[in-house]
Amino acid sequence: MKIDLTDTTASKVNKALVQGRRAIGTPAVGMVLTMVIVTDEENAYDSIKAAEEASHEHPARTLVVIKRHARNPRERTHSRLDAEVRVGSEAGTGETVVLRTYGEVSDHADSVVLPLLLPDAPVVVWWPADAPEIPAKDPLGALGQRRITDLYAVENPMEVLEARRRTYAPGDTDLAWTRLTLWRSMLAAALDQARATVTSAAVEAEADNPAAELLARWLEARLRVTVDRVVTAGPVVTAVRLRTEDGEVVIDRPEGPLATLTLPGQPARRLALKVRPTSELIAEELRRLDADEMYAVALRGEATEETPAHV
């Protein structure tokens, strides 16, 4: 069910939500969190879709904040809020409210979002693109326990990565980091089996890939060795090599979802290592809502001071 509200306020949106739920006969719902998506029209469709898919694992109230740009000065002075309330089958397992802000209210979107947050439940803010410089200081970002940005959606990932490192606050996280989970768990499992001290390492990836840089920094921080960045044709991360005294531990994914794991003295094995869609990344992101300390470690690349000479 869909209810459109033009030139409205947060309290009218709340009324519409209750009205919508009554109409479809589910006055009580077990939503576990509020997801705030801050985006533009261009990215709205895909991110709402991803959030709705993720809501099958984490039923949520999704608030989509879209800032509209007025085309002429007259409209610019006029401030307006339009809302589209979706409940039931059109909103995954939860509820979705698309909020479009025009004019001055765009600068005060937090005042619209605050009354619409679910009581007690945690709040997650996600910027599919155009994240603020300091997510934790952003008025909307400040509402959330967890702030999700995406280094894949910026012009200069390496510069932004540095900015993220400088401005890191507990609760920050990035989808470029989420994309690495499968790689990292396979690397940890491989090292469990190899049981050897790593002397040096290399990450092979396409140029300027922020995930590869995070992976390299994580390896540096954890293994306390120099990690070479090797540029390949991609796509994304293509291989990781951990050199030990016994030989190399390699996970190689030249293309496609099937990778090869090589351990010294053991037969090579194939393993599935696919590039996951955004909805799965978001679902993983929502599984834990406390601060991701390991992301902070990877951002800082703690051991870098001891092992200079890279990039």
What is the contact surface with another protein in residues (CB under 8 A)? 28-32, 56-59, 93, 178, 181-182, 184-198, 219, 222-224, 246, 256-258, 261, 263-267, 269-274, 284, 288, 292-294, 297
Cα Dmax for the chain: 73
Q: How far is the CB of 7 from another protein (least distance, A)?
A: 34
Q: Six-digit token pair at 189? A: 């499992």
Q: Position 39: which residue type?
A: T
Q: Rank residues 207 and 258 by Cβ distance to another protein and give the closer one.
A: 258
Q: How far is the CB of 244 from another protein (least distance, A)?
A: 9
Q: Rank residues 155 and 192 by Cβ distance to another protein and give the closer one.
A: 192
Q: How far is the CB of 107 from another protein (least distance, A)?
A: 35
Q: Rank residues 35 and 38 by Cβ distance to another protein and give the closer one.
A: 35
Q: How far is the CB of 284 from another protein (least distance, A)?
A: 7
Q: How far is the CB of 235 from another protein (least distance, A)?
A: 15
Q: How far is the CB of 192 from another protein (least distance, A)?
A: 4
Q: How far is the CB of 91 from another protein (least distance, A)?
A: 14
Q: Rank residues 112 and 263 by Cβ distance to another protein and give the closer one.
A: 263
For the stretch 9-13, contacts whose Cβ atoms lie closer than 8 Å and that sit 24 or more positions apart, written own/partner, are 9/81, 9/112, 10/111, 10/112, 10/113, 10/114, 10/115, 10/116, 11/115, 12/83, 13/83, 13/85, 13/97, 13/99, 13/116
Q: How far is the CB of 307 from another protein (least distance, A)?
A: 14
Q: Rank residues 79 and 304 by Cβ distance to another protein and give the closer one.
A: 304
Q: Rank residues 66 and 223 by Cβ distance to another protein and give the closer one.
A: 223
- Asked if 94 contacts 60 with a C-beta cutoff of 8 angstroms, the reply is yes
